[in-house]
Amino acid sequence: MAGILLVILACVLWGMDTLIRYPLVDRNISPITIVFYEHLILTLIFSLGLIKSFKNLLDMKLADFLSFVIIGGIGSGIATVAFTESFLYLNPSLVILLQKLQPVVAIILASIILKEQVEKRFLFWAGVCLLGGLLVSSPDIERLYDLMAHDFDTATSDFAIKGYGLVAISIIGWGSTTVFGKRLTMSGFETRQIMGGRFLMGLMVLIPFVNWNRSLILPQGMDYFRILLMVIISGALAMWFYYRGLKLIPAKTAAIAEMFFPFFAIIANWIFLDKQLTIIQLVGGGILILGSIVIQLKKY
């Protein structure tokens, strides 16, 4: 039970991340700039852990190195930029709604890469959790329905399709990160090694895409503090809890627990931005909690 609670705690912190990330993007700060600063700071924080374990890292297998490329370069770097930039093309609510597909990617990859058994009972309760997640995002579903019904051309425009493509990249990237992060824990890597390798690899992938000009200078001095706060909350603390939890549970179970992220993002908006939850959202949160508890207790 401890493993899934640690992942859920990470989701609580990721939910608070949205209160800082969205306003930065809304103020036309480049997504690549935001994610670059995140990875630069996180690499500096965890570089000491990498130095201490440098000899072990030199002895890693090619498959382990590729796992770091996937969780760092693709999952932490490219997928995070794609997710952040997708808000420029789509309504943030729609982006969060589409992220519900991420557990599907993770469960499929877990069965293929990690050979995790996916039983019918697990799929049933995973479906229950997905239903709960969709109910949590019921206002987003209503907005999507209205958009499709009354402004279908906008919803299917080249501009919107680019947004859908960016969300798809983030879904596949983060779904892969869950599975290959679990693979690294199974190979004996410590949490600080995984986090250090993840952020360093992400930084290396991001560097060629950064505009080395005045765009790296943020509009306000407080923006640097906001990014630092975001790094501490959703980068350092959340990822620490996440990988500690991932060591204790299968990747497929972690994928279900990650569905709490949108729920806690909505709760954060409720507490800090006074955006009220509906009865349907609260029911959805209850269903999500029920399904995840059953999966953990039954160890499907």
pLDDT digits 0-9 by tens, 177-207: 999 999 999 988 888 888 888 998 999 988 8
Tokens representing 229 are 């706060």
Q: What is the pLDDT of residue 197?
A: 86
Condensed to tens digits (0 to 9), the pLDDT of residues 203-234 reads: 998 888 887 766 677 878 888 899 999 999 98
Is it the case that residue 155 has pLDDT exceeding 70?
A: no
Distance CA 49, CA 224 (A): 24
Q: What is the pLDDT of residue 282?
A: 85
Tokens representing 284 are 């959805």
Q: What is the pLDDT of residue 118?
A: 85
Q: What is the pLDDT of residue 237?
A: 92
Local confidence band at 77 (pLDDT 50, 70, 90 cut-offs): confident
Local confidence band at 300 (pLDDT 50, 70, 90 cut-offs): low
Residue-wise burial string across 56-90, b where 16 or more C-beta atoms lie within 10 A, e elsewhere:
ebeebeeebeebbbbbbbbbbbbbbbbbbbbbebb
Work out the average pLDDT over 68-97: 82
Q: What is the pLDDT of residue 49?
A: 61
SS3 state at 156:
coil
Tokens representing 254 are 């972690």
Work out the average pLDDT over 86-101: 75
Is it the case that residue 95 has pLDDT exceeding 90?
A: no
Q: What is the pLDDT of residue 10?
A: 92
SS3 state at 96:
helix
Nearest to 180 by CA among 112, 234, 82, 238: 112
Q: What is the pLDDT of residue 154?
A: 65
Q: What is the pLDDT of residue 109?
A: 92
Is it the case that residue 67 has pLDDT exceeding 90?
A: yes
Distance CA 132, CA 134 (A): 5
Share of the chain above pLDDT 70, in %: 90
Distance CA 213, CA 210 (A): 9
The rounded mean pLDDT for the chain is: 83
Distance CA 242, CA 257 (A): 10
Is it the case that residue 151 has pLDDT exceeding 90?
A: no
Work out the average pLDDT over 121-147: 81
3-state helix, strand, coil in the chain (%, to 5): 85, 0, 15
